[in-house]
Amino acid sequence: MSAMHIQWKDEYCVGNALIDYDHQTLVNITNELFACVDKGLSTEEISTVIKYLINYVELHFQREESLFQESDYPDGQAHMKKHREIEQVVRGISDQYAADPDAINIDDVMKFLKNWLINHIMRTDRSYVPFLNV
Ligand SMILES: [Fe+2]
């Protein structure tokens, strides 16, 4: 198990089954990435997992956005803007890594992803969940 491994905790649950499922999946994919890096897999293999993670992040953001657009959540626009920003950052890292892996410090990327994910689950999403109708 990677030293970076994220252990899922009950306190990560926000109380919405779909969102909680997505978050657990994001944690699982991120842990898979950490394991691949630890095993010293090739750039191509690591790049594939990073892309898979990004695709799931985008899917998750779409789900969140359709949920809070149907709710009375007042900060939807600002929250969506944050989603687009993080997508750009992560896509940038992924493209750079695929083009020239030596230009990227993968340890920094892992730390960034871990911090972002825990912050997203523990902080960002707490803002809209109380407004959801489901
Ligand atoms: Fe989320």
User: From ligand 1's centre to the CA of 56, what distance in Å?
Assistant: 11
Structural domain total, the chain: 1
Measure 62 CA to ligand 1 centroid, in angstroms: 10
Tokens of 36: 């691949």
Q: Is the pTM of this model over 0.85?
A: yes
* CATH classification at residue 71: 1.20.120.50
Residue 74 inside a domain? The answer is yes
Indicate whether 11 belongs to any domain. no
Mean pLDDT by 10 residues, the chain (134 residues): 93 92 96 96 95 96 93 94 94 93 92 94 89 78
Domain that holds residue 71: 16-131
For residues 76 and 58, give the distance between their C-alpha atoms in angstroms, rounded to a whole number: 16
Q: Is residue 98 part of a domain?
A: yes
Q: Report pLDDT for 131.
A: 92
User: Residue 134 has what pLDDT?
Assistant: 63
CA of 130 to the centre of ligand 1 (A): 13
Tell me whether residue 1 is in a domain: no
Tell me how far apart the alpha carbons of residues 128 and 68 are, in angstroms, rounded to a whole number. Answer: 7
Residue 10 lies in a domain: no
Residues lining ion ligand 1 (Cβ < 5 A) are 125
Residue 116's nearest CA partner among 80, 73, 77, 87 is: 87
